[in-house]
Amino acid sequence: MKKIAILQPNYLPWKGVFDLINRVDTFVFFDDVQYTKKDWRNRNRVKTHAGLRWISVPVTNGSRDTLIKDVEIDGKANWAEKHWKTISLEYKAAPFFNEYADFVREILCGQEWGNLCDLDIYATKKISDVLGIDVEWVRSSDLDLCGDKSGERVIKICNALGCDSFINGPASRQFMDDDLFRAAGIKLDYIEYNYEPYPQLHGDFVHEVTVLDVLFNCGPESASWIFHES
């Protein structure tokens, strides 16, 4: 079976996103859906000596009618250097910080980012490379397909890309119509995010932080803390 997952682009995603990507043959960035404020599209969390801290990419547009692919970054804000300063300060004591420091700094500061979606996708691909993930990348906006949240559009995407197995996030169970997938001949599965704690800085363990936390703390062994059997 050819497996597919479809997810909105996220900023420096948490490890669960990469676990999902690693389970499929094709990963679709769901970039032509509504942008949501105060969500994972433009921000994520890092662990600091003073607790969890949000790092957010400032945007100039982000109304409820704006699609993710059209959200622009505020070029006047020095956000990239600020994010890098926070990350380097809080993770400089991590065992593998030096091995990944240049790689992370290049993602943030290696070019002038204007479009949020481009930044999110670039970072996700680069981190996937480091983790050894081999997958076909697609943007949903390139497919120009429509349909409702029950799964109609997802099924069209699966058919367009020749996929017959769809792996979804656990939060989607409430609005997915299993019968639609069954009728279309597409296997519908849901990932379960169950992970063991790994060695981590700054107090009690927290799972819901950027995947950079795993890289800096676990280095070459990061994949073993992220990937589960599909």
Q: How far is CA 207 from CA 23, 65, 101, 140, 225, in A?
A: 20, 32, 21, 29, 11
Please state the φ and ψ torsions of residue 167, each to the nearest 5 degrees: -105, 125
C-alpha 123/C-alpha 73 separation (Å) is: 15
The answer to whether 57 and 42 are in contact (CB under 8 A) is yes
**pTM for the predicted model, two decimal places:** 0.96
If you ran DSSP here, which 8-state letter would residue 27 be given?
E
Burial class of residue 41, CB neighbours in 10 A (0-12, 13-18, 19+): buried
Using DSSP bridges, classify how beta strands 43-48 and 51-56 pair: parallel, antiparallel or unpaired.
antiparallel
Q: Characterise 11 by phi-psi region: left (phi > 0), alpha (psi -120 to 50), beta (else).
A: beta
Element (H, E) at 212: helix 212-218
The answer to whether 157 and 28 are in contact (CB under 8 A) is yes
C-alpha 22/C-alpha 54 separation (Å) is: 26
If you ran DSSP here, which 8-state letter would residue 23 be given?
T
The answer to whether 46 and 87 are in contact (CB under 8 A) is yes
If you ran DSSP here, which 8-state letter would residue 54 be given?
E
C-alpha 70/C-alpha 86 separation (Å) is: 27
Write out the chain's pLDDT in tens, 230 residues: 999 999 999 999 999 999 999 999 999 999 999 999 999 999 999 999 999 999 999 999 988 789 999 999 998 999 999 999 999 999 999 999 999 999 999 999 999 999 999 999 999 999 999 999 999 999 999 999 988 877 899 999 999 999 999 999 988 888 889 999 999 999 999 999 999 999 999 999 999 999 999 999 999 999 999 998 65
